[in-house]
Amino acid sequence: MAGRKTVLEVLQGKAVFPPPIWLMRQAGRYLPEYRETRAKAGGFLDLCFNPDTAVEVTLQPIRRFGFDAAILFSDILVVPHALGRDLRFEEGLGPLMTPIAASEIERLDGSRFHEKLEPVYETVRRLKRDLPAETTLIGFSGAPWTVATYMIAGQGTPDQAPARLFAYRHPEAFAKLLALIADWSADYLVRQIEAGADALQIFDSWSGVLDEAAFQAACVAPVKRIVARVRESYPDVPIIGFPKGAGALYGGYREQTGVTALGLDWTVPLSQARHLQKAGPVQGNLDPLRLVAGGRALAEGIDRILDELGKGPLIFNLGHGITPETPVEHVEEMIARVRGRTKR
């Protein structure tokens, strides 16, 4: 398959077997070369905003494993950071921000938005130049709901209660916040396409904490807004939507938002995944802990996915990001098993 962008072929609706592979968070702490680069880079934001280091860590898993796609190394919270919100990362705590008040939403400042994000665009341009011809380059952003949860709480929380309460208590301000994040995220994604991204992914990591009405308002509507705005400029660039934890609400997500493909978390039953695949490409959905465990657990998880979804348009991936404790040799086992499979 040298020279073929098989990830793009799948996103165009073609069944490719064995399916192309990439992993969410494939550039990360499970790799010794990543840990070495990060130690030299300084803080996490320094790593993201320095094109030299961001390109290097994006390329590391491509060099080591030959994944079929590379995803831009950055963070979903660079968008609110570029809108003037403070952001820092602390070891063991993750991202920390000053919680936004309802009265502050109108004062979000996008006057230097693209200037602040220029290092990200430069990273994309260099990756487009340096990646193998057959490797799809994926740009990304966080979905407005997930980004808003961090802006409102100031940090990650187990059930996003601060953001949910904010939405109930300040519905107009909350709707305004989602709309602003959606519009700036769309502009950010368009710039990534212009810099060389072949496809996009929108991460909605906290979709699973919402009831049905809130899911429609906070997850579906803002992502639909992003997709429509991106497609005004680039109608043919495929977009993967990943509403993690959406469960039964996965069913109408593609049609309601307009995304090209569905990223499936590991809790989605393969019978449901097979039904979703009838409407278009799916991506996923190996439990990341099977990759940590290796051996029989890993092999059985891979085989079930390939048996159930391998005949349709499938991008093989995890059901969430790879974890830091994952052994590198287990990733090698996974790739060998997927790529060594024949149709049954």
> Which residues are tagged catalytic?
25, 29, 38, 75, 150
Length of the chain as a residue count: 344
Cβ atoms of 25 and 31 closer than 8 Å: no
Beta partners for residue 70, in sequence order:
137
For 205, phi then psi, to 5°, come to: -70, -20
For 295, phi then psi, to 5°, come to: 60, -140
DSSP 3-state of 123:
helix
Two tokens, residue 127: 């990756």
Two tokens, residue 155: 């940090």
Find where tokens 């049609």 sit: 255
Number of alpha carbons in the 13 Å side-chain half-sphere of residue 60: 22
Host H or E run for residue 89? strand 88-90
DSSP 21: B
Between the CA of residue 301 and those of 25, 297, 317, what are the distances in Å?
19, 6, 12
Q: How far apart are CA 150 and CA 341, in angstroms?
A: 41
DSSP 282: E
Find where tokens 């979905």 sit: 143
Between the CA of residue 234 and those of 7, 143, 239, 289, what are the distances in Å?
18, 19, 11, 37
Between the CA of residue 342 and those of 90, 281, 334, 336, 337, what are the distances in Å?
45, 20, 15, 12, 10
Distance of CA 302 to the CA centre of its chain: 21
DSSP 322: P
Cβ atoms of 233 and 190 closer than 8 Å: yes
